[in-house]
Amino acid sequence: IHYEATIEQYHSHGRQLGKLLYQGRWFDSQALMLRDGLQRWVASQITGEVTLELRRGNDYSILNTVSDNLTYKAERLTMEKGESVFSPDDRIGQLTMRNLDITDTREKLFGYAKAGLLTASSATGLPQVENLENKGK
């Protein structure tokens, strides 16, 4: 779920929401809309632990991340160890990267469905998660 465009939206929406909250507009319709979207689609999927090394000021390093919902999986990205989705024939790897993005998005959809965020009424016009799961087999 976290690719370049998504991360850009998080930053943009986060700044907008922060500005509205700083101005005291907690219950403004725009603030409620931004907050609901971030809480429903982002916060519900964020689980795990992050280990930081804090230094003076705003300086820090991320030492470790652990979660069941991580998009990055090292075992998918190796050509040396075990089975990989990459092969030496993947010179540029663009097609493989797009397939990984689609796989990650599908996994997130299943996570949303499991959390009860996708129902028949909220997904009008979209393929149902159950149908996607059966097609993938």
pLDDT in tens, 89-131: 655 555 556 666 667 777 777 887 888 777 655 444 554 555 5
Residue-wise pLDDT for 29-82, tens only, equals 899 999 988 888 777 777 888 899 999 988 999 898 888 877 666 666 655 665
- Element of type H or E holding 104: helix 94-114
Give the 3-state secondary structure of residue 70.
coil
Q: How confident is the model at residue 17 (pLDDT cuts 50, 70, 90)?
A: very high
- Residue 133 reports pLDDT greater than 70: no
Question: How many residues are given for the chain?
Answer: 137
Angle at 86 between CA 85 and CA 90, to 5 degrees: 140
25 or 10: which carries more pLDDT confidence? 25
Cα separation, 34 vs 102, in Å, equals 25
According to the model, what pLDDT value does residue 39 have?
Answer: 84
According to the model, what pLDDT value does residue 134 have?
Answer: 52
Q: How is residue 127 written in tokens?
A: 């393929």
pTM: 0.43
Exposed/middle/buried for residue 125 (C-beta within 10 Å: 0-12, 13-18, 19+): exposed
Long-range CB contact pairs, 105-111, < 8 A, 24+ = 105/1, 106/132, 106/136, 108/1, 108/45, 111/45, 111/69
**Residue 137 vs residues 71, 98, 130: alpha-carbon distances, Å:** 21, 19, 11
- Asked if 28 and 22 touch (Cβ cutoff 8 Å), the reply is no
Which residue type does 97 have? M
87 or 125: which carries more pLDDT confidence? 87
